[in-house]
């Protein structure tokens, strides 16, 4: 009997580990999360019954650790170095010349290029294949023992395995499994997990993380591993410290892959400066599509003996550089802090900055989110601050440089009355934000209108912010329904409106009257209902009537819709003001397309990925249209993907599609498919 259990336990462990590897190292998925959880559950139950069968590398041991009082210090055998940064071709060329002079003549240099992951450096020790200890870099000589937390990261194998590899690599793997091996790499947080974490922090009224690096570092340096496990971190290996006979950095990477680590999807052998430049350029264009953040590439002298001979200057090896992309941070001065009123009536403090270049564009404003954030940063008008642009995100103030203060800086106070309509400002119990108490505040209306006509909503061409303000000032629109009564005669007397543009605007308003349920719901501007949720609601209910009538329990039972969102939807449809507005929209000719009709296109139920730039529509429009046609918009290519739409300058998704044999189509074919052709 016990023998049978032992066999079952072993098989379960192998199977769970295989799926872990597929998912976290190879980005593939064979069984659902629920099925995998079920296997883990069975294993856990058996281990509870037979605790003597528990091994330290069992998948159940990833989450077993107790909170610590403090981390122990670990002295690194070989120092954990950093890299010197370069930013231009000239600097790469200088580096190349410098090191060429230092290696004995006749040795042509070759290189290895890889992604510089934006996370935190970690070193891992394995003995006889078992993960025994992991530590942070610390000061490079002494780090902290974070083994328990690293065990929660599924991309880190708890024991090393022999994966398929060439004979030369196989010999190294055998050696690694027999003795001790030290592996280094970067713990990081994917963009998706980072965004979800910050949304969650906001919901809980807790602080946002400034960037994925801080989030990853904060998550690894948690005394309670139960917190770390929730942060869903990843790991990318980039070096084998132990000499197992590897002669090149490229071989070290092959060895890492053979031992079961994720070692980079974009690594490349590079012959010289020309190749390095091309690689830097290529990654520079495709990195926006990566599921993680990267601020540069790492170039390493490929030949390991040569790399060693080149030695170390200060804390960085001569034989490797970080070739960075333009800085995403800069310093500037806060000239003023003003409040902006959003669609929900929330007052958002915005810092007006002395314009500064960050990551290729000029930044003159940064959001300060709310009063708590201002207090946390202790930012004052006149302060010098560090601003940051992460990806497409609105710039953020990361920190203040208090040493640069003159004493003339002024503290910000939240206004007591709304700067637009003069009503009182309130802060509700348990909420971080301040709100204008007047539901018909002009600013609130204005923001609501902007949202209503936006691309993902009614998508009305020619209704920019300026025109909306103009129409509101002329008393022509008080709420979205008023748009649908506008006539050319209303518009023509207005400044900037010639006969033609009045005609055009009325035509685009008329054209927008036919709208999908999902876009209609989004346009209403219900709190917490973004595009995704609107889409989920439309698919689930199929008609506006059903949503209007749904009670709180029904809404709560919908997958992906949490209690706060359900409550917000429910109370929106309880308010006469809102239902009255919807009725008015319908009576002025707005027609909601029945989802069933839309679903009968060739895209129905199909998974669609887009890579590169489309010419006739933006990504946002494409996303909305694919969904309207019943398709499923997904961000990464897998075997399950049905179509990869290839635009201009396609990224790596194109290569992956070809590799996996996924059907690729161009923009025109996509449009035809959406139209049901
Ligand atoms: S090689 C000699 N490769 O960047 C140091 N580092 O600025 C060995 N990093 O401390 C580093 N991705 O934390 C290397 N593919 C990569 C990397 C990488 C991220 C980090 C690492 C290092 C820092 C240096």
Category of 174 on φ-ψ map: left (φ > 0), alpha (ψ -120 to 50) or beta = alpha
CB of residue 617 inside a 6 A radius of ligand 1: no
Q: Quick one: 461 and 563 in the same domain? A: yes
- Domain of 219, CATH number, reads 3.30.470.30
Give the residue, out of 115, 116, 316, with the most ligand 1 atoms within 8 A of its beta carbon, to mutate for a pocket test.
116
Range 496-501, long-range pairs (CB < 8 A, 24+ positions): 496/467, 496/470, 501/462
Distance 150 CA to ligand 1 centre (A): 18
Instruction: Give the alpha-carbon dihedral of 563, 564, 567, 568, to 10 degrees.
Output: -150
Name the domain count of the chain.
5
Chain Cα centroid distance, residue 656 = 20
Question: Does ligand 1 come within 6 angstroms of the Cβ of 298?
Answer: yes
pTM of the model: 0.58
78 and 37, same structural domain? Answer: no
Let me know whether 458 and 589 are in one domain. Answer: yes
Could you report the per-residue pLDDT of 637-670, keeping only the tens digit for each? 888 899 999 998 887 888 889 888 899 999 999 9
State the catalytic residue, choosing from 2, 28, 101, 116: 116
Burial readout 455-477 (b: 16 or more C-beta within 10 A, e: otherwise): ebbbbbeebeeebbebbbeeebb
Low-confidence ranges of the chain (pLDDT < 50): 106, 392, 597-598
Q: Hunting for tokens 């030949």 — which residue is that?
A: 303
Task: Please say whether the beta carbons of 131 and 151 come within 8 A.
Answer: yes
Decide: 81 in ligand 1 pocket, CB within 6 A: yes
What is the number of the ligand 1 atom nearest to the C-alpha of 300? 1
Do the domain assignments include residue 406?
yes
Rounded to an integer, what is the distance from CA 152 to the centroid of its chain? Answer: 21
| Residue 433 within any structural domain of the chain | no
Q: Identify whether residues 278 and 148 lie together within a single domain.
A: yes
Q: What is the CA 75 to chain-centroid distance, rounded?
A: 34
Report the distance separating Cα 200 and Cα 202, nearest Å.
Answer: 5
Task: From 265, 322, 324, give the residue whose CB has the most ligand 1 atoms within 8 Å, as the site to mutate.
Answer: 322
**320 lies in the same domain as 335:** no
Q: H-helix or E-strand containing 134?
A: strand 130-136
What is the predicted pLDDT for the residue at 206? 67
330 Cα–ligand 1 center, Å: 22
66 falls within a domain: no
C-alpha R_g of the chain: 29
Task: Assign 23 to helix, strand or coil.
Answer: helix
The domain boundary residue, chosen from 593, 626, 648: 593
Which residue's C-alpha comes closest to atom 9 of ligand 1?
116
Q: How far apart are CA 536 and CA 559, in angstroms?
A: 8
Q: Which of 41, 61, 81 is the last residue of a domain?
A: 61
- In the three-class reduction of DSSP (H, G, I as helix; E, B as strand; rest coil), residue 574 is classed as helix
CA 612 to chain centre: 18
For residues 343 and 308, membership in a common domain is answered with no
User: Atom 23, ligand 1: which residue's CA is nearest?
Assistant: 82
Distance 135 CA to ligand 1 centre (A): 15
Asked whether residue 601 is assigned to any structural domain, the reply reads no
399 and 349 within one domain: yes
Q: Are residues 419 and 504 in the same domain?
A: no
Nearest to 607 by CA among 629, 640, 647: 640
Which tokens belong to 177?
């499994």
SS3 sequence of 145-182: ECHHHHHCCCCCCCECCCCCCCHHHHHHHHHHHHCEEE
Judge if the beta carbon of residue 250 lies within 6 A of ligand 1. Answer: no
For residue 306, the CA-to-ligand 1 centroid distance in Å is 19
Which secondary-structure segment (H or E) carries 297?
Answer: strand 294-301
CA of 613 to the centre of ligand 1 (A): 31
d(CA 428, CA 405): 34
Would you say 676 and 602 are in contact if contact means Cβ atoms under 8 Å apart? yes
Q: Is the CB of 116 under 6 A from ligand 1?
A: yes
Residue with the two structure tokens 């129409």: 471
- Looking up residue 10, the CATH number of its domain turns out to be 1.10.287.610
pLDDT of residue 464: 84
Q: What is the pLDDT at residue 507?
A: 93
Same domain, 17 and 81: no
- Report how far apart the first and last C-alpha atoms of the chain are (Å, whole number): 61
Query: Does residue 385 sit in the same domain as residue 306?
Result: no
Q: Is 212 in the pocket of ligand 1 (CB under 6 A)?
A: no
Residue 376, domain member (yes or no) = yes
Asked if 50 contacts 60 with a C-beta cutoff of 8 angstroms, the reply is no
Q: Specify the pLDDT at position 577.
A: 86
Which CATH number fits the domain that encloses residue 404? 2.40.50.140
Q: What is the pLDDT of residue 391?
A: 53
Question: Which atom of ligand 1 is nearest to 317's Cα?
Answer: 2
Residue 434 lies in a domain: no
Q: Is residue 600 part of a domain?
A: no
Q: Is 238 in the pocket of ligand 1 (CB under 6 A)?
A: yes
Same domain, 49 and 81: no
Answer for the pair 331, 385: CB distance below 8 angstroms, yes or no. yes
Q: How far is the CA of 264 from the centre of ligand 1 (A)?
A: 13
- Rounded to the nearest angstrom, the distance between the alpha carbon of 442 and the centre of ligand 1 is 51
Q: Say if 657 falls within a structural domain.
A: yes
**What residues have CB less than 8 Å from 413, skipping those under 6 apart?**
none
pLDDT on residue 209 = 78
Residue ranges of the alpha helices (H) in 52-140?
89-102
Domain extent at residue 223: 73-324
d(CA 427, ligand 1 centre) in Å = 45
Boundary residue ending a domain (426, 457, 492): 426
Atom of ligand 1 nearest to the CA of 116: 12
Query: Do both 570 and 462 map to the same domain?
Result: yes
**Does ligand 1 lie within 6 Å of residue 536's CB atom?**
no
Nearest to 20 by CA among 247, 222, 260: 260
Q: Give the sign of the dihedral formed by CA 570, CA 571, CA 575, CA 577.
A: negative
pLDDT of amino acid 598? 45
Question: Catalytic: 116?
Answer: yes
CB-ligand 1 contact for 82 (6 Å cutoff): yes
Distance CA 157, CA 59 (A): 10
Which residue has the CA at smallest separation from atom 18 of ligand 1? 116
Question: What whole-number distance in Å separates Cα of residue 261 and Cα of residue 236?
Answer: 7
* CATH number, position 567: 1.10.150.20
Of 272, 317, 294, 257, residue with least CA distance to 81: 317
């Amino acid at each position: 009997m016990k023998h049978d259990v032992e066999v079952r336990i072993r098989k379960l462990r192998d199977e769970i580990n295989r799926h872990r590897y597929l998912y976290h190292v190879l980005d593939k998925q064979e069984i659902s999360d629920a099925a995998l959880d079920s296997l883990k559950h069975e294993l856990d139950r058996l281990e509870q019954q037979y605790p003597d069968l528990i091994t330290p590398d069992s998948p159940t041991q990833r989450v077993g650790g107790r909170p610590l009082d403090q981390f122990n210090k670990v002295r690194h055998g070989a120092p954990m170095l950093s890299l010197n940064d370069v930013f231009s071709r000239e600097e790469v060329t200088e580096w190349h010349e410098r090191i060429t002079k230092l290696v004995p003549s006749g040795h042509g240099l070759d290189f290895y290029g890889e992604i510089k992951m934006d996370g935190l450096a970690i070193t891992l020790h394995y003995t006889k294949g078992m993960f025994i200890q992991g530590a942070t870099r610390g000061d490079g000589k002494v780090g902290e023992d974070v083994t328990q937390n690293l065990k929660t990261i599924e991309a880190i194998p708890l024991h090393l395995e022999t994966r398929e590899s060439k004979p030369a690599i196989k010999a190294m793997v055998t050696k690694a499994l027999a003795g001790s091996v030290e592996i280094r790499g970067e713990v990081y947080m994917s963009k998706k997990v980072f965004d979800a974490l910050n949304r969650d922090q906001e919901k809980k009224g807790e602080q946002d993380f400034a960037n994925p690096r801080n989030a990853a570092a904060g998550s690894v340096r948690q005394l309670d591993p139960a917190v770390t496990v929730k942060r869903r971190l990843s790991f990318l290996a980039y070096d084998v410290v132990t000499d197992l006979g590897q002669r090149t950095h490229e071989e070290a990477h092959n060895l890492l892959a053979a031992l079961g680590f994720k070692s980079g999807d974009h690594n490349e052998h590079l012959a010289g400066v020309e190749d390095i430049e091309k690689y830097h350029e290529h990654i520079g264009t495709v990195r926006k599509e990566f599921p993680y953040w990267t601020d540069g590439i790492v170039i390493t002298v490929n030949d390991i003996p040569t790399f060693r001979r080149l030695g170390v200057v200060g804390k960085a090896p001569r034989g490797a550089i970080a070739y960075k992309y333009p800085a995403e941070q800069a310093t500037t001065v806060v000239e003023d802090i003003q409040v902006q009123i959003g669609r929900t009536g929330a007052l958002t403090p915005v810092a007006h900055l002395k314009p500064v270049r960050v990551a290729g564009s000029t930044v003159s404003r940064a959001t300060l989110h709310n009063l708590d954030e201002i207090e946390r940063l202790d930012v004052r008008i006149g302060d010098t601050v560090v601003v940051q642009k992460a990806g497409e995100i609105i710039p953020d103030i990361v920190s203040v440089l208090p040493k640069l203060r003159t004493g003339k800086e002024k503290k910000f106070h939240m206004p007591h009355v709304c700067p637009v309509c003069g009503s009182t400002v309130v802060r509700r119990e348990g909420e971080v934000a301040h709100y204008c108490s007047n539901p018909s505040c002009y600013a609130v209306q204005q923001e609501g209108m902007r949202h209503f006509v936006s691309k993902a909503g009614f998508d009305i061409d020619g209704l920019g912010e300026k025109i909306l303000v103009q129409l509101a000032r002329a008393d022509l629109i008080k709420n979205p329904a008023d748009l649908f009564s506008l006539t050319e005669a209303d518009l023509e007397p207005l400044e900037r409106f010639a006969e033609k543009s009045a005609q055009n605007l009325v035509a685009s308003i008329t054209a927008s009257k036919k709208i999908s349920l999902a876009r209609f719901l989004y346009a209403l501007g219900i709190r917490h209902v973004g595009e995704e949720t609107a889409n989920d609601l439309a698919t689930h209910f199929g008609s506006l009537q059903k949503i209007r009538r749904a009670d709180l329990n029904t809404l709560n039972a919908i997958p992906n819709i949490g209690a706060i969102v359900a409550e917000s939807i429910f109370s929106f449809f309880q308010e006469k003001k809102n239902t009255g507005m919807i009725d008015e929209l319908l009576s002025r000719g707005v027609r909601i397309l029945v989802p069933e009709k839309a679903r009968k296109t060739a895209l129905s139920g199909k998974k669609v990925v887009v890579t590169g730039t489309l010419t006739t529509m933006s990504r946002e429009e494409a996303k909305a249209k694919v969904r309207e046609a019943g398709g499923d918009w997904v961000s990464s290519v897998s075997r399950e993907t049905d179509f990869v739409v290839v635009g201009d300058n396609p990224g790596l998704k194109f290569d992956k599609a070809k590799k996996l044999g996924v059907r690729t189509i161009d923009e025109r074919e996509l449009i035809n498919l959406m139209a049901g052709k």
